[in-house]
Amino acid sequence: MTEYWQSTEPGAGRRPPRADAVSDAPVLSLNGTWRFRLSPTADGTGAAFVADDFDDSAWDTMRVPSHWVLEKFTPLSGGPARSMRGTEEGPLYTNTAYPIPLDPPRVPTENPTGDYRLVFEVPDGFGPAVLRFQGVDSCAKVWLNGHELGWSMGSRLPFEFDAPVRPGRNVLAVRVHRWSAGTYLEDQDMWWLPGIFRDVELLARPSSGAIDDHHVHADYDPATGLGTLRVDCPVDAVVEIPELGVLMPAGESATVAVEPWSADSPRLYRGVLRSHSEAGESVELAVGFRRVEIVDGVFTVNGRPVKFRGVNRHEHHPDTGRTLDRATMIQDIVMMKCANVDAVRTSHYPPHPEFLRLCDEYGLWVVVECDLETHGFIYAGWDGNPPADPAWRDAVMDRVYRTVERDKNHPSVVIWSLANESWTGETFGEMERWLRERDPSRPIVYERDPSYRNSDFYSLMYPSLDLLEQIGRREEPAPEGSTDEEDARRRTLPFLLIEYAHAMGNGPGSLSDYWRIMAAHDRMCGGFVWEWIDHGFTAVAGDGTPFVMHGEDVDYEPSGRRFCLDGLVFSDRTPTPGLIELAKAYEPVAISIGTARVTISNTRHSASTGDLDFRWTLEDDGAPLATGSLAVPPLGPGETTELQVPGDATGRRGRGELVLTVEAVLAHGTAWAQAGQVVAWGQATLATAPERQRRPAPDGRAVALAVALADGEVAVGEAVFDAATGRLRRLGGLELDGPWLDLHRAPTENDHGQGALNDIASVWRKTALDRMLHRTDDVSVGDGWLRVTGRTAPRTHPHGVAWTMLWTADGDGVALDVTADFVGPWTDTPYLHRDIWVPRLGLLFSLPGAVQRVEWFGRGPGETYVDSHEGSRIGRYARTVDQLQVPYPVPQENGNHVQTRWLELAGPGLPTLRVTGEPYVDFTARRWTSVALQEARKPHDLVDSGRVWLNLDHAQQGIGSASVGPALPERYRISRERTGWRVRLGTA
């Protein structure tokens, strides 16, 4: 006989799946403190623990819901209580590979198994009951009062048993296996976290008139503005929606005038479904009327095209894993709404049902994904893939049944996803056929099958910008393996970008580029950034230093290593710079400022701009000059207006750069933000100070004499140089050193690529960009100038950069003109057979460690890069050197600032260093070198060097998202050609 945990059957003894519902029938929460004992094999503690009178007083305690690998208790080997985090007994992270041998449906004998026991009281008259588990990973068998109820797989899906409870004392026993046959269906790029991790509830069921299921059909006709409501129910019941004047029997229809539901106008009509029986039941209704259709290859809701401004969302908390409370769910949704996110793909499983109720209320489009992924079968060439094996048919179908039946009544759910990364198989056809019959109101997506025969969408992950443009025009190449007929059908489908812009580490880049393409083509229905949150865990080093634990911190193979850190928010839900950029890309109101006109376009789906106020500010080098309101008539969805630039902002002169900013803000508070929340903004430079323009290089005429000093130094104006090396030693009383030509940056996660693909960091390492040697060839001086020539190159290799630095006295400071010429075989190098990209082209200075504060005028306040700066405004900002660092849990390049007009660095007892770009300069300031940043493994490895290292760059390459995605676009790379630039330095 096959053990149940190694069976391809989905379970036994369970009640049929049904809709999630909020009922007035009594509910007894069984969450709390249970007794628990962990055993090394599927035998658990044996058979005795299910008995009423079993003595569990010596057992550990365990919170329910929770994951036992995140709790502190006595481990498998006994001994003192400890945490399993960071051990192979604890949480394990894989991306594609299974953490067990690929031998379906068998699992190892070493199968950690948790036996749970709960003694609970049931009040008199509680009545017939149902026992519901909202989520157990990965397989559970259940006993009540010594009687076996059944077992179930499908970790992220609920299951229920009829529960013959008795008044008074009851004993619930649950055996949970870490590995099971279900493991082969749940390879979803996430931590493997066993346990009873969602709510456990005892539901009283009326002896008559129990509403065990219901199905809300709420259609909307955009041509008439009428909604048609029907609520199906297996018992006699009445539907009441007081606001609509609806009072009718279940199963009948009513057509009334309604406001439709959409993500930007989440209109819900609340009511009740009440059974006729006196001892019956009432179920709350939250009805949203909407119609989802694909019309002529365009995805529409309520007759209007939808473009998802989306994110992928795993459930994660740094302390509790996939166990989330309602407050955390609300926090996620509020942060999403404030960042202009209006859509969620529930990667890669149905979320806790409360999250979908909140999406209905707050307004998010949702793609619900079935709890199915078999990615690890790629290591067998997809041989034995469950969706293609009839033996797994019931288990696979069970998952789509339970997904759809639970979530069918949510207006926020507009698309069903059959699975993620599970290749192909005949069972997908059966899933599709059943789903279309059960719920024809929503379309279906499945991305991985190149034929797209079971999908209403053409869909891809991580296309390049060029390919995305082709797709928008329906000119993309055919997928390999598809027939001419399949390809012809696919070209008629709308395109859904289910994953793009991998947000791992410092990134992603090109968010606005992607969105401009998606906004330009009707075929595109938006996309979902990968992903919402880093999956890091709170941990403490041996010396008590806190850090963020990722897959590489667990001594276990296989490991997905750091790929769990790929979110737009850090594990503690602190926003990353990537979220700031996404909010700009996803703005639902476009504001464009010209020399005389302001153009405003409403790109919302349903809502007008009547809920927004528009205001403007004029600044001179970041200092406010004037502000006011902009009278914008309410714009309906898709409407545009043009207005004159405010009169108070025109004709003004300033000392520096005049920048006009126009904002759209919430006029009144909402459920997710207070009044004044910025929804969109635009900026334009109205005037630039003449001295901000780049001046020509000096023509050799003297401004001041270059004076030879003692100790081998030369002075040019306020600057003092080493006569032998040409390096700057002092400037107006400020001691400093440099500059050195700098070509290196600490690699970002995206610089490492994915495996060998796009791994430019390894090229930098092999060509020693981090170990460049500097040679001075000549130092010459003249009237008011000093010229230094030299070469910067790595050991071993023949390539390098020949450079010239020309210093010229310039008033109370000096101007520096730099020329860099790439020499040697940088292209198609014989030892690498590929080009060497240069991540940085600029200058490195060493400043005193007492430098503490930086003020600048340019993009900010957060970090910016050439492909990730549109979400950062032009303004005047001030931060400490420490505040300029972005605490990525894996140290990497961070803290750059593009388009900087000027910056000042100051510290107690030091002259202020002022740097002026001509016209712009990139800057980075930190207390450690880029090499130290590259070598650090954790943020606490970074130690103050006693100096401040200042990069003043002509350019730094973009950040992209090549950790899982295309190579960095050519336009965001640094050209290896003769390049010149200028900066000015002075002190005050």
Place of tokens 């090396």: 725
| Whether 622 contacts 658, CB under 8 Å | no
| Whether 645 contacts 660, CB under 8 Å | yes
In angstroms, the CA 174 to CA 149 distance is 10
- Contact residues for 110 (Cβ-Cβ < 8 A; gap 6+): 40, 41
Q: How many CB atoms lie within 10 A of CB 626?
A: 14
Question: Known catalytic residues?
Answer: 421, 499
State the pairing for strand pair 365-369/413-417: parallel
3-state secondary structure (DSSP) of residue 477: coil
Which of 586, 598, 583 has its CA nearest to residue 628? 598
The letter for the amino acid at 727 is R
Burial class (CB in 10 A: 0-12, 13-18, 19+), 480: exposed
| Whether 425 contacts 390, CB under 8 Å | no
| Whether 216 contacts 287, CB under 8 Å | yes
119, two tokens: 């003694």
Q: How far is CA 206 from CA 128, 201, 348, 394, 405, in A?
A: 7, 16, 35, 31, 21
Place of tokens 């990134």: 507
For the chain, percent helix, then strand, then coil, each to nearest 5? Answer: 15, 40, 45
Q: How many residues does the chain have?
A: 988
In angstroms, the CA 762 to CA 349 distance is 35
CA distance from start to end of the chain: 85
φ, ψ for residue 277, nearest 5 deg: -60, 140
Which of 368, 459, 455 has its CA nearest to residue 412? 368
| Whether 338 contacts 672, CB under 8 Å | yes
3-state secondary structure (DSSP) of residue 963: helix
In angstroms, the CA 133 to CA 135 distance is 6
In angstroms, the CA 634 to CA 628 distance is 18
The letter for the amino acid at 439 is D
| Whether 122 contacts 44, CB under 8 Å | no
| Whether 618 contacts 659, CB under 8 Å | yes
In angstroms, the CA 721 to CA 729 distance is 5
| Whether 478 contacts 508, CB under 8 Å | no
- Contact residues for 365 (Cβ-Cβ < 8 A; gap 6+): 263, 301, 306, 308, 310, 342, 343, 344, 412, 414
φ, ψ for residue 894, nearest 5 deg: -160, 170
Strand boundaries in 145-301, DSSP class E:
147-153, 159-163, 168-177, 190-192, 195-196, 200-204, 215-221, 226-232, 237-241, 246-249, 253-257, 269-275, 282-287, 292-295, 298-301
Q: How many CB atoms lie within 10 A of CB 647?
A: 8
In angstroms, the CA 347 to CA 417 distance is 10
Rounded to an integer, what is the distance from CA 144 to the centroid of its chain? 42
Q: Name the β-bridge partners of 626.
A: 618
φ, ψ for residue 187, nearest 5 deg: -95, 75
The letter for the amino acid at 701 is R
The letter for the amino acid at 16 is P
